[in-house]
Amino acid sequence: MTDNILVFYGSYRRDRLGIRLANYIVRSLSQRGRNPELIDAKEIGLPILDRMYKEYPKGTAPLALETLAEKIRRADGFIFVTGEYNWGPQPGLKNLTDHFLEEWFWRPAAVASYSAGRFSGVRSGTIWHGILSEMGMIVVSSTLAVGPITQTLDVNSLPIGDGGKALEQSFGRFADDLAWWTEAAREQRARRAPPY
């Protein structure tokens, strides 16, 4: 069975660089036989959180929320591609994520971080582990950390230089870790309903 993986990206910046990593992940998952879909917070354009999806009476949520809720429910797993803003997560990605709760439950998630500098967004990536766990996801231990991003991926999201080689070497383990958990979670859900 092919895993349906949603790849979330949250930068709203004009000259955003992390889209290179998001596109690389989508392409690389496709090459491994997965079914990934990029979910770009900027393209979806949800407002600052006022009301969660679950707080709308059934059938009254805005179309963008309803559509995304259904995609999240159908997904086998998630990848969150995060930059680092002042040691923290991007507000666009966090805002998009916070619109939902139960829709995330009982599926695995993985975190890929990036930055323009040598720290590769790892401080934000570390914060995301706690956030996603609190939202009912199992966060895999393998991570991707890319930086400096312009020395790792070119404008077409293709690996370049030593950073690109390192990314290529680490991607397999990252993808395999997530795939193991998506299969385990899918089999467990088929065997027994979640406890809540």
Render pLDDT for 70-118 as a digit per residue (tens, 0 to 9): 999 999 999 999 999 888 899 999 999 999 999 999 999 999 999 988 8
Whether residue 36 contacts residue 26, with contact meaning beta carbons closer than 8 Å, is answered with yes
**pLDDT tens digits, one per residue of 28-80:** 999 999 999 999 999 999 999 999 999 999 999 999 999 999 999 999 999 99
pLDDT of residue 118: 86
Residue 55: strand, helix, or coil: helix
pLDDT of residue 195: 86
What domains can be seen in the chain, in order of their start residue?
4-191 (3.40.50.360)
Q: pTM of the predicted model, to two decimals? A: 0.96
**pLDDT tens digits, one per residue of 130-164:** 999 999 999 999 999 999 999 999 999 999 999 99
Tell me the mean pLDDT in the region 2-16: 95
Residues paired with 153 in a beta bridge:
159
What is the spatial distance between Cα 12 and Cα 85, in angstroms, rounded to a whole number? 12
Hey, which bits of 71-180 come out as E strands? Answer: 77-82, 108-114, 138-146
Which residues, including other chains, have CB under 8 Å from residue 47's CB and lie 6 or more apart?
Answer: none
pLDDT of residue 28: 98
Tell me the mean pLDDT in the region 5-15: 96
pLDDT of residue 1: 77
**CA nearest 111: which of 74, 82, 68?**
82
